[in-house]
Amino acid sequence: MKRFLLGLCCGAALASSTLVYASDEIRAALFPVQFEFNGEKRETPSRFAVLNYNGHTYVPLRYMAENLGAGAAYREEDNTVSVVSEPSGADEAAKRIWAARYRLERGMTSKEVREALGEPSFSALLDSSRQQWRYDIGAKSDYKNNGGVSADTEALHRGDLQAQVFVSWNASGEVDRYELWSAVSTENGARAVQVHIVYPDGSSSTAAHE
């Protein structure tokens, strides 16, 4: 459902196609179009679909945002699609946290995750067919992790880390779940930890961690 919402948020009038109407549904034709950004053709990943409906082309918002230097995310708590540009002038840690929130998504391949976040700090087998990657973002030079697959909330509270990202893979080698644990400042200037989780069914949650 979420990917469907993201995919239908941006449309441009291009070409017509034969449409079928029903009382409770809209049917759109898949549109095998190629995209060109500033004269450069870009490959569209297989997880994205382009639709043609009523003379308009509906494209994946996340794909378009990424190729225009931005990112997109669906905020389930208030049913909002958010498009955010990459922070300019920010340090590397802030850019990687932004990428984890607005570029990472279910269905990505290991190559696509590396392009967004770089090489993982640690990887582990959860079982015989599933792997998990961990990213330690904004870690101090003397930070040491025990190699675990759970968030180091104490280090986040202390300021030894700015964020941790956990990426879980399915048996097909695609992202099926991920978590972003990040340190945030409260109104009184204290440090708190926020966790954002995207689950295998596409649902998500964001909460403060005590």
DSSP 108: -
Paired with 11 in beta bridges are 58
Query: Which residue has tokens 């997880």?
Result: 47
Cα–Cα distances (Å) from 209 to 34, 178, 182, in that order, read 43, 16, 10
What pLDDT, in 10s, does the model give residues 76-105?
778 888 888 888 888 999 999 999 999 999
Is 95 in contact with 87 (CB distance < 8 Å)? Answer: yes
Is 117 in contact with 134 (CB distance < 8 Å)? Answer: no
Q: What is the pLDDT of residue 140?
A: 94
| Residues 6 or more apart in contact with residue 35 via CB below 8 angstroms | 41, 42, 44, 59, 63, 67
What pLDDT, in 10s, does the model give residues 22-38?
456 777 788 888 888 88
pLDDT band with cut points at 50, 70 and 90 for residue 74:
confident
CA angle 84, 90, 93 (to 5 degrees): 95
Q: What is the pLDDT of residue 87?
A: 87
pTM of the model: 0.74
